[in-house]
Structure 1
Amino acid sequence: MTVDNEPAVPEVTTEDRSIANAQGALDVVQATSATVDEEVAAIDERASEQAADADWVVDEVSNLSATIEEVAATATQVTDRSEQAAAEAAEGREAAAEAIETMEEVSRVSGTVASEVDDLRDRIDRIADALAGIDRIADQTNMLALNASIEAARTDGDAEGFAVVADEIKQLAEESQQQADEIDEALEAVRSATDETVGQLEDAVTRIDAGATQVTETMDSLDTLAETVEETADGVASVSTATDEQAESSEAIAQRCEQLATHARAIEAGISTITEARSEQTRMLGEIDDVLAAADADRRRALADAPTLSTGVSGLDDLCGGGFLVGGQAVVRHDPDTAVNELIAQTCATAVAAGQAVSLTPPRTLDRETLASAFAATDRSVSDALATDDLFVLDMFGSWDTEYNVFDLDTRSLADANETTATRRDAPLLIVGNIEAEVAAVGERAAREARYENDDGVFDAQDTVLNIVADTAVPEELGAFYAGAADQTLVLRHDGGQTAVELLASPTGTTGVRRPITELSEPPFLRVTAR
Structure 2
Amino acid sequence: MNREQRQQSEPAGGDRTVANAQGALDVVQTAAETVDGELAAIDDRASEQAADAAWVVDEVSALSATIEEIAATATEVSEQSDRAAEQASDGRAAAQDALETMDDVRAVSQEVAAEVDALRDRIDRIADALAGIDRIADQTNMLALNASIEAARADTDAGGFAVVADEIKQLAEESQEQADDIDDALGAVRQATDDTVGELEHATEEIDAGADQVADAMASLDAVADTVQETADGIASVSTATDEQASTSEAVAHRCETVAERAHAIEDDLASIRHARDEQTAMLGEIDDVLSTADADRRAKLADAPTLELGVPGLNDLCGGGFVVGGQAVIRYGEGASVDGLLAQLTATTVAAGRAVSLTATPTLDRSTLSTAFEATDLSLTEALAEDRLFVLDMFGTWSDEYNVFDLGRTTLGAVNETTVARRDAPLLVVGNIEGEMETVGEQAAREARYENDDGVFDARDTVLNVISDTAVPETLAAFYAGAADQTIETWQTDGQQYLELRQSPIGTTGSRRRVSTTPRPPFVRVGGR
**TM-score, with normalisation over the residues of structure 2?**
0.82
Which AA in structure 1 matches 2:261?
A: T
Give distance in 2, aligned partners of 1:518 and 1:231. 84
Give distance in 2, aligned partners of 1:381 and 1:162. 184
Whether contact under 8 Å (2:437, 2:446) holds in the other structure is yes
Give distance in 2, aligned partners of 1:112 and 1:148. 53
Whether contact under 8 Å (2:497, 2:516) holds in the other structure is yes
Give distance in 1, aligned partners of 2:171 and 2:382. 177
Per-residue CA deviations over 1:437-481 (Å, capped at 9, x if unaligned) read 333333344445544446755444454332222334433322222
Which AA in structure 1 matches 2:266?
A: I
Q: What is aligned with 1:217?
A: 216
Per-residue deviation, 1:52: 1.6
Whether contact under 8 Å (2:499, 2:513) holds in the other structure is no
Q: 1:449 to 1:458 in 2, by over 3 A?
A: farther
> Is residue 266 of structure 1 aligned with residue 229 of structure 2?
no
Single out whichever of 427-436 and 379-388 deviates more from structure 2: 379-388
Give distance in 1, aligned partners of 2:324 and 2:494. 28
Q: 1:484 to 1:166 in 2, by over 3 A?
A: same
Q: 1:224 to 1:334 in 2, by over 3 A?
A: closer
Give distance in 1, aligned partners of 2:518 and 2:187. 142
Single out whichever of 472-481 and 366-375 deviates more from structure 2: 366-375
Per-residue CA deviations over 1:377-405 (Å, capped at 9, x if unaligned) read 665677887788766665656747565x7
Per-residue deviation, 1:325: 1.8
Q: 1:187 to 1:57 in 2, by over 3 A?
A: same
Whether contact under 8 Å (1:315, 1:529) holds in the other structure is yes
Give distance in 2, aligned partners of 1:237 and 1:345. 84
> Is residue 437 of structure 1 aligned with residue 442 of structure 2?
no
Q: What is aligned with 1:242?
A: 241
Q: What is aligned with 1:57?
A: 56
Q: What is aligned with 1:3?
A: none
Which AA in structure 1 matches 2:270?
A: I
Per-residue deviation, 1:326: 2.6
SS at match of 1:91: helix
In the alignment, structure 2 segments of 5+ residues that lack a partner are 1-7
Per-residue deviation, 1:37: 1.0
Q: What is aligned with 1:521?
A: 521
Q: 1:224 to 1:16 in 2, by over 3 A?
A: same
Whether contact under 8 Å (2:514, 2:527) holds in the other structure is no
Give distance in 2, aligned partners of 1:421 and 1:18. 24
Give distance in 2, aligned partners of 1:230 and 1:123. 58
In the alignment, structure 1 segments of 5+ residues that lack a partner are 1-8
Per-residue deviation, 1:514: 0.5
Per-residue deviation, 1:242: 3.5
Which AA in structure 2 matches 1:85?
A: A
RMSD: 3.9
Q: What is aligned with 2:197?
A: 198
Give distance in 1, aligned partners of 2:503 and 2:390. 29
SS at match of 1:489: strand
> Is residue 130 of structure 1 aligned with residue 126 of structure 2?
no
Q: 1:139 to 1:411 in 2, by over 3 A?
A: closer
Whether contact under 8 Å (1:17, 1:455) holds in the other structure is no
Q: What is aligned with 1:99?
A: 98
Q: How does 1:379-418 map to 2 (within 5 A)?
A: 396=395, 399=399, 413-415=412-414, 418=417
Q: What is aligned with 2:5?
A: none
**TM-score, with normalisation over the residues of structure 1?**
0.82
SS at match of 2:431: strand
Q: What is aligned with 1:281?
A: 280
Q: How does 1:42-53 map to 2 (within 5 A)?
A: 42-53=41-52
Give distance in 1, aligned partners of 2:493 and 2:73. 74
Per-residue deviation, 1:154: 6.0
Per-residue deviation, 1:485: 1.9
Q: How does 1:27-46 map to 2 (within 5 A)?
A: 27-46=26-45
Per-residue deviation, 1:130: 3.0
Which AA in structure 1 matches 2:63?
A: L
Whether contact under 8 Å (1:362, 1:394) holds in the other structure is yes
Give distance in 1, aligned partners of 2:33 and 2:308. 37
SS at match of 1:312: coil
Whether contact under 8 Å (2:372, 2:521) holds in the other structure is no
Give distance in 2, aligned partners of 1:182 and 1:410. 140
Per-residue deviation, 1:41: 1.0
Give distance in 2, aligned partners of 1:92 and 1:481. 91
Whether contact under 8 Å (1:18, 1:455) holds in the other structure is no
Which AA in structure 2 matches 1:330?
A: A
Whether contact under 8 Å (2:309, 2:321) holds in the other structure is yes
Give distance in 2, aligned partners of 1:382 and 1:177. 160
Q: 1:295 to 1:211 in 2, by over 3 A?
A: same
Aligned length: 521
SS at match of 1:208: helix
Give distance in 1, aligned partners of 2:32 and 2:296. 24
Identity %: 68
Give distance in 2, aligned partners of 1:183 and 1:136. 15
Q: What is aligned with 2:3?
A: none
